Structure formats: structure tokens, C-alpha cells
Structure 1
Amino acid sequence: MRDYILDLSITPDELHRYYSGKVITVVARARNGLTIRFAARHLRQHVTRNGIRGTFRLTTDDQNRFISLDALSPKDAH
């Protein structure tokens, strides 16, 4: 398994593009400098009325297939 730490800040307007189907893939830069792509549908559980804001751990298997996207508490984000 592989873990990537992502700092995400997505406004409600940007999220609307994902939900309307205009954008289906999220592209983010992990803290280690790698560019990560994953399906926007994996963000759904983290959406608030203010969009998505915070630090997340993206976990993939060894073939880079999505396993999970978990919000980290501020103390775990370092």
C-alpha cells in the first residue's frame, strides 16, 4: 500500500463542476511533490457547505488503485 498526504482546498463552485459531470478527475499535488489523480466521486463524503478544506491521506494499493481517502486531524497532518 502507498499513502499520499494531500492539502485540499476546493470551493463550492469548483465542486459544482465535479458534480455536474464537467470534471470527473481531481488532480492534486501530494506533499512529497508527486502529482496525484483520482476520481472526484471519492470526495463526496468530505463535502461541507464550504466545499472541501483540509489535509487528507489518500491510500492506494501497489498498483495505484484507490483504497481510501481519509481526513486527517490537525495533529495527524504533520
Structure 2
Amino acid sequence: MRQYFFNASLSYEQCEAYYKGFIKYVVVTADNGERIQLQFRHFRRYIDILGFRGRFRLTVTEQGAFVALEKIN
């Protein structure tokens, strides 16, 4: 398993674009400099009235398949 750490933030208005079908993915830059594309649906549980923001840990298999996304602060 591999883990990536990153900060992410989207306003509520930007999150609405997902629900309207305008976006499917969020691209983040991990602390190690790698750019990672994640399906927006993985962030849904972290959305509140402000959107979402915070520090996250992404766990993937060695082949790059999604395992978990956790908010760590």
C-alpha cells in the first residue's frame, strides 16, 4: 500500500458543480509533489455548508487502485 498526504479545499459553490454534473474529478498535489486525480465522490462525506477543506491521507494499492481517503485534521 502507498499513502499520499495533501491539503485540499473547495468552496460550496465549486462542490455544487459536481452535483450538477460539471465535474467528476479533483486534482490535488501530494506533499511529495505528485499530482493525483481522484473521483470527487470520495470527498462527498467531508462536504459541509462551506464546501470541504482540510488535510487528507489517501491510501492506494501498489497498482494505484483507491483504498481509502481519510481527513486527518
Fold shared per TM-score above 0.5: yes
User: What TM-score comes out, normalization by structure 1 length?
Assistant: 0.89
- How many residue pairs match? The answer is 73
Q: Cα RMSD over matched residues?
A: 0.8
CA shift at 1:6, angstroms? 1.3
Residue matched to 1:26? 26
Larger strand percent: 2
User: What TM-score comes out, normalization by structure 2 length?
Assistant: 0.94
Structure 2 SS opposite 1:59: strand
- State the identity as a percent: 36
Aligned partners of 2:2, 2:18: CA distance in 1, in Å? Answer: 25
Structure 2 SS opposite 1:69: strand
Structure 1 stretches lacking a partner, 5+ long? 74-78
Residue matched to 1:76? none
Structure 2 stretches lacking a partner, 5+ long? none
Matched, 1:63 2:56: no
Matched, 1:3 2:3: yes
Runs of 4+ in structure 1 over 3 Å off: none
Aligned partners of 2:17, 2:50: CA distance in 1, in Å? Answer: 15
Residue matched to 1:49? 49
Aligned partners of 2:51, 2:72: CA distance in 1, in Å? Answer: 16
